[in-house]
Every structure is written in C-alpha cells, then in structure tokens.
C-alpha cells in the first residue's frame, strides 16, 4: 500500500538526504535560516506536533512485542520474550518471511536491471516525444490505484496459472517496482555530465567500458536507491499480493495482515518491531553512505 507510491518521491529522497546531511545551502543561508525559523513560532509548534505524529504512534508496537500476556493491552503489565520465540519458531511466520525476502530480492534485481537500462535509453533517445511517452507508460503503476491493477493481474495470472507462484509474485512486484527505479535513475542521469562519457570514449574506452567504468559508478547512488525502493516496494506489497496469493504461498505482509485481522497474537508486534528496527538501520546506513560519498565527490 505504501511501497507502491514510495518510488515517486525517490528523486526527492535521494535529493533530500544529502541536502539535509551536508546542509545543501551555504553557510550564510544557514545562519539566516536559523534566525528566520525562530520568527515562526506557529510553524515550529506545528512541525513538532507533526514530527511526533509521524514517529511516536508506531513505537507502541515495541512494548507490545515484549508483553507477557496474549493481548494488545497498552502498556503491558508483564513482560516476556516469548513472542519473538514464536516468530522464529512458528513455520507460518518463518516461511512467509523467507519467501518475502526471496521474492523481494528477485523482483528488486529484475526491476533494477530493466529499469536502469530503460532509464539510460530514455535519457539518450533522440526522439524526445517517443521517450516521453515511453516514460509515462513506465510510470503508470504509480499513478493508477493499486486496486485497479490488481483485478486485471488476478484475471490474467489466473488464466496463465501464475496465481500463488513465486514467478507470479516476482513479475507483479517487479513491474510495480520499475517506476521507482526509473524515477531515481533518470534523476541522477539528468545531473550526469555527458562530457565524461565523451572524455572516456576519446581516451579509448568502448561502449561497455564507458558504461561499466564511468556511467554506472556515477549513477550508482540512483541505481541503489531504486533497488532499495523496489525491494521495499515488494517486501511491503500487500494489495496485489492478496489477489494473487494462494493458501500455499503467502508473503510476510499477508501473514501480518491476517494476524492483525483475526487474532490477538502479539507475535505480530514482534514481527512489526523487527521490520521497524531493520528498516531504521538500513536508512541510517544509507544516509551515512550517501554523506560520505557526497563529501568525497564534492558535489
């Protein structure tokens, strides 16, 4: 539900992290900025409230995951680790988790490969109108509500025998992931200096060598961001997955959903905490890497 749209803002995010990190603006602007913000007490209060609204509610899953009782009562009055034990021993949870990671990995690789190739093609194609049309087509999955896409996929996959198969999941998730890759890779390609490719060519590099040694390393942040988005988009995907699942092939989000909907089983809180912690770590690492890189390249 959320993963689907994530990619649209990829360009924003890849742009945002370094800017926030290195203070994108000049020192004087920063100094001025600090002064200005103090003169907007209302906006500051509103921003603090919104920040709390964004972060705090989600954190309640953490204490619940350590509760001693099989209930969602908050705050818990006793503590235990048994829900984590459950999470890692119950095969319904472990197999769903393994399967989701595997599907997310495969669909991210597929989406990143075809999406990166397409982005390079889009940027270079000299028939700009055709390129614009092709780009619009590749972005369709972001701008059409998932529920609309899900019905068609259900019908077609049904007739092809792809329902409840890993292939089906990977194809569906990868095509939902392509827009994120295209957006984030074309964003970095736009700031990529084509002169560098010419320089490499004039120095004796062939087409593949230019891509491998010059273009790819320089657009790598965009490619990795796209891959990460595509991975999360798949790992998180629930709506289309609900349509194409089978009792024999369920993904992690489906397991979470069914657990929330049917039982009062804090195992789901343990699972949620796990997702929360892993995601936060991944973001912090990504932010850190992008900072180091930005500093070195001096951009």
Range 78-107, binding another protein (CB under 8 A): none
Per CB under 8 A, the segment of 44-52, 80-88, 89-97 that binds another protein is 44-52
Per CB under 8 A, the segment of 81-89, 91-99, 276-284 that binds another protein is 276-284
Question: For residue 99, how many other CB atoms are within 10 A of its CB?
Answer: 18
Per CB under 8 A, the segment of 21-29, 79-87, 90-98 that binds another protein is 21-29
CB 86 within 8 A of CB 267: yes
CB 72 within 8 A of CB 64: yes
Burial of 54 (0-12, 13-18, 19+ CB in 10 A): exposed
20 vs 81 by CB, closer to another protein: 20
CB 232 within 8 A of CB 190: no
The beta-carbon contacts of 96-100 under 8 Å, at least 24 apart in sequence, are 96/250, 96/251, 96/252, 96/254, 96/255, 97/252, 97/255, 97/271, 99/166, 99/249, 99/250, 99/251, 99/252, 100/234, 100/235, 100/251, 100/252, 100/253
Question: For residue 198, how many other CB atoms are within 10 A of its CB?
Answer: 11
- Single residue of 68, 72, 105, 109 touching another protein by CB under 8 A: 72
Contact positions with another protein (CB under 8 A) in 175-194:
175, 178, 182, 193
73 vs 81 by CB, closer to another protein: 73
Cα separation of 194 and 227, whole Å? Answer: 23
Instruction: Give me 25's structure tokens.
Output: 């603006």
81 vs 136 by CB, closer to another protein: 136
- Shortest Cβ 175–another protein spacing (Å): 4
Which DSSP string do the residues of 271-283 spell out, in sequence order? HHHHHHHHHHHHH
- Single residue of 60, 101, 166, 224 touching another protein by CB under 8 A: 60
- Single residue of 101, 105, 166, 200 touching another protein by CB under 8 A: 200
Cα separation of 156 and 241, whole Å? Answer: 14
- Shortest Cβ 82–another protein spacing (Å): 18
Contact positions with another protein (CB under 8 A) in 116-175:
117-118, 120-122, 124-127, 130, 134, 137-138, 140-157, 171-172, 174-175
- Shortest Cβ 102–another protein spacing (Å): 17
CB 237 within 8 A of CB 173: yes
- Shortest Cβ 89–another protein spacing (Å): 21
Binding of residue 209 to another protein (CB under 8 A)? yes
Contact positions with another protein (CB under 8 A) in 224-263:
232, 235-236, 238-239, 242-243, 253, 256-257, 260-261
């Amino acid at each position: 539900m959320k993963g689907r749209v994530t990619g649209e803002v990829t360009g924003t995010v890849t742009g945002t992290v370094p800017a926030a990190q290195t203070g994108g603006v000049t020192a004087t602007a920063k100094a001025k900025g600090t002064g200005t913000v103090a003169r907007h007490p209302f906006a500051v209060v509103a921003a603090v409230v919104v920040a709390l609204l964004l972060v705090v509610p989600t954190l309640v899953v953490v204490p619940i995951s350590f509760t001693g009782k099989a209930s969602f009562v908050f705050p818990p009055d006793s503590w235990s680790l048994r829900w984590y034990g459950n999470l890692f021993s119950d095969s319904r949870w472990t197999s769903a988790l393994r399967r989701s990671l595997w599907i997310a990995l495969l669909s991210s690789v597929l989406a990143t490969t075809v999406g990166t190739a397409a982005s390079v093609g889009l940027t270079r194609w000299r028939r700009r109108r055709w390129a614009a049309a092709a780009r619009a087509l590749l972005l369709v999955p972001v701008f059409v509500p998932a529920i609309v896409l899900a019905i068609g996929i259900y019908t077609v996959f049904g007739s092809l025998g792809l329902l409840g198969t890993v292939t089906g999941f990977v194809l569906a998730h990868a095509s939902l992931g392509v827009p994120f890759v295209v957006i984030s890779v074309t964003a970095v390609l736009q700031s990529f200096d084509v002169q560098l490719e010419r320089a490499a060519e004039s120095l004796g590099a062939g087409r593949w060598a230019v891509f491998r040694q010059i273009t790819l390393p320089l657009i790598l942040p965009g490619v990795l961001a796209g891959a990460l988005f595509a991975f999360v988009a798949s790992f998180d995907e629930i709506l289309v997955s609900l349509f194409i699942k089978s009792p024999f092939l369920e993904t992690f989000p489906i397991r979470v959903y069914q657990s929330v909907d049917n039982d009062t089983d804090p195992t789901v809180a343990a699972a949620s905490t796990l997702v929360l912690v892993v995601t936060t770590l991944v973001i912090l690492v990504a932010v850190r890497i992008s900072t180091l890189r930005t500093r070195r390249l001096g951009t």
